[in-house]
Amino acid sequence: MSTRTRVAVVGGGANSEHEISLASAAGVAAALDVGRYDVVRLTIDPDGDWCDEDHERLALPSAVRTLQACDVVIPVLHGPHGEDGTLAALCDLAGVPYVGSGLGAGALAMDKWATKLVARSLGIAVAPEVLLTPATVPAYTFSHPVVVKPVTAGSSHGVTLVRGAAELPAALVAALALDPRVLVEDVVLGREIDLAVLGRPDGARVVAPALEIVADGVFDTESKYGGGADFRVPALLTDDEHEALVGAAKTMYDALGCAGVARIDFFLTDGGPVLNEVNTMPGLTEESQVPKMFAAAGVSYPELVDMLVRDAVVGFRHGVQASRRVVARR
């Protein structure tokens, strides 16, 4: 009988980040030690259908049974219908341990407006914004350069830096094509600094060395995946800057209820950190920001993936035991 842990790696997703998720899932699956893990690869097509590793379609009940036959699930889905907590909720209902944040944290972090509301309540600075819908767009008047973005999309899809009024209509159309709610944010002038926070089962919060993104203009989809950005890790920070960023990152991680690893993105301005967004399932190819940050701390890509899997199993066991004790006391 095999003593290897059976791991389901789920990639794809019914959203604009489908291909990016496939790359992350392929990297994660390849990083799992074949001597320790049996990997079951599952894909969610752009239309939402599940497929097994032989590309055969699975009805949802069959997909759930496949997940339940595994010891742990790694839901490597970015964007809506995945990172927003929907797949975590499915795993919860199926009683299967999974890597990463649960439904609540995934939904809050995916909603950029809700994330900003949480940050403001905690005293963490965010860019001033206006929330628009198709009904309120006609009343909006352009007065200064802004960044237009969908509330729930990821990987900078639908994000546009608008420098003049003539550019605004196309930017709004692109954003509204992905989400019926759009944020129009003031442009923040500062260095783009990412932090990766890893929550361990014992409650510890591990923060990897900070990473700075140096890009020409807005860090858009083309810059992220076309090789046009320069990642500098560790970022050159003063002690005070580092302390402020780490404190804000940990605060957001805990306030949203994150688990596993999350990437917290900031602009570092003359006035201090300004939160940009929180990613509960960040890119996880070996060349993505989070693995690069942990590599700078001496944690290799396979070691990081292994840690996430082990922590998920341990955390699930403790969580189940705790919930059973609560039920018993009732």
Is 17 a residue of the active site? yes
Which residue is catalytic, options 155, 199, 253, 276?
Answer: 155
Which residue is catalytic, options 92, 225, 257, 286?
Answer: 225
Is 140 a residue of the active site? no
Q: Please name the residue that has the structure tokens 């009343």.
A: 139
Which residue is catalytic, options 16, 17, 101, 306?
Answer: 17
Is 230 a residue of the active site? no
Is 62 a residue of the active site? no
Q: What is the 3-state secondary structure (H, E, C) of 219-288?
A: CCHHHHHCCCCEEECCCCCCHHHHHHHHHHHHHHHHHHCCCCEEEEEEEEECCEEEEEEEECCCCCCCCC
In the beta sheet, which residues pair with residue 191? 268
Is 33 a residue of the active site? no
In the sheet with 37-44, reading across from the earlier edge strand, the strands are 57-58, 50-51, 37-44, 5-12, 72-75
Which residue is catalytic, options 179, 277, 306, 311?
Answer: 277
Is 225 a residue of the active site? yes
**Alpha-carbon span 330 to 324, nearest angstrom:** 10
Which residue is catalytic, options 192, 265, 306, 311?
Answer: 265
Q: Which residues are catalytic?
A: 17, 155, 225, 263, 265, 277, 279, 283
